[in-house]
Each structure stands twice: as structure tokens, then as C-alpha cells.
């Protein structure tokens, strides 16, 4: 247990209270605070002070006399005094801000609409050349050399009718080494 004279963690207690430590350091300080009565007392005093300031403190703006004296001191020190109060934007400035916001919204809506039109439109049907090429490539893959095995042209021609709107003429070249 630490005493007031030898506890070197008091500054870390204040830093932890202000949320300035990372998670590992905060966990280590929380463990130390449980064992050290002095650090625990300091934590409770910090909590009480925060609570009192939040509940009882009020805001009082500086008087014009105080502001002018501070400005004189700043000028004497070679620093520029701050402006007293921010000026509200003029009507032209407000119109400019409103106009820019409207244009930004319009551009965003136009871009979103164009993106929707480009990505949602239907895919055009592929032409016959693409289909023939795709089926030729598929036929070259192993296991697809013959999709329909037949020795009669009466079986082959109706198969084409179901796939295409036309049926090519089918010749029986089995005697030349090309079975259907």
C-alpha cells in the first residue's frame, strides 16, 4: 500500500480520470487505485470536484472592461487580441451557402440517378455468334464431346429444334467414320 510520500501514481490517477490513458494503462491504474488508499481518495476528490462544477457552476461572460484590459495586455505583449464576437453572415453570404448546398444536392442526385440507370438496365441478349462460340468452347471440354448420342437423324434434328428456332440438315456420315 502506498503512502502520500512514496506514491508516484497520483499524476497517472489524474490522467486516467481525464481519459488520457490507453486501455492497458487505465486498467493498471484501476488495479493500483484499489490497493492504494491515497490514490482512491484522490479519485474520489476528482469525482466530487467534477460533480460540483457540473451542478453548481454558472457561466458569466466577461465584462467589456475586462475584455479591453485583456486586449491591452495582449497588445503590450506583442500578440493580436481576438475578435470580440463573431459577426453573423450577411444575406449574400447566407444565399451563397444555401445555393452551394442546393447545387451539391442536385449533383449528388444526378449522379445517383445516372448510376442507377447504368447499373439497373437489362442486359442485352447475346447474339448467335457468341452462343455458337460458347457452345463450341464447351464442347471442347472433356466429357462434352458428344451431347446427344444417336445413330438416327430423326433423333438429332428434333434436338436442334428444341434448342434453336431452326434445324440444320443432318447427314448420316457413319460409314465415313463420323457417327451421329
89 CB-near residues (< 8 Å, 6+ apart): 97
Neighbours of 17 (CB within 10 A): 19
Q: Would you call 13 exposed, middle or buried from its count of C-beta atoms within 10 A (0-12, 13-18, 19+)? A: buried
Tens of pLDDT along 48-95?
A: 999 998 888 887 888 889 988 988 998 899 888 776 656 667 888 888
CA angle 177, 179, 180 (to 5 degrees): 155
Q: pLDDT tens digit string along 134-180?
A: 888 877 777 655 555 666 656 666 666 666 676 667 677 778 877 66
Contact 15, 52 (CB under 8 A): no
Amino acid at each position: 500500500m502506498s503512502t502520500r510520500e512514496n506514491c508516484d501514481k497520483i499524476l497517472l490517477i489524474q490522467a486516467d480520470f481525464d481519459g488520457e490513458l490507453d486501455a492497458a494503462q487505465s486498467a493498471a491504474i484501476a488495479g493500483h487505485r484499489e490497493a492504494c488508499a491515497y490514490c482512491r481518495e484522490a479519485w474520489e476528490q476528482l469525482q466530487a470536484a467534477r460533480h460540483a462544477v457540473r451542478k453548481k457552476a454558472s457561466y458569466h461572460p466577461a465584462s467589456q472592461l475586462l475584455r479591453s484590459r485583456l486586449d491591452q495586455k495582449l497588445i503590450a505583449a506583442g500578440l493580436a487580441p481576438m475578435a470580440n464576437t463573431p459577426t453573423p453572415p450577411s444575406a449574400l453570404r447566407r444565399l451563397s451557402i444555401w445555393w452551394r448546398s442546393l447545387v451539391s444536392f442536385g449533383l449528388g442526385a444526378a449522379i445517383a440517378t445516372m448510376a442507377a440507370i447504368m447499373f439497373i438496365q437489362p442486359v442485352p441478349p447475346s447474339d448467335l455468334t457468341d452462343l455458337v462460340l460458347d457452345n463450341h468452347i464447351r464442347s471442347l471440354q472433356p466429357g462434352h464431346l458428344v451431347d446427344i448420342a444417336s445413330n438416327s437423324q430423326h433423333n438429332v434434328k428434333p434436338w436442334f429444334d428444341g434448342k434453336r428456332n431452326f434445324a440444320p440438315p443432318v447427314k448420316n456420315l457413319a460409314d465415313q467414320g463420323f457417327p451421329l
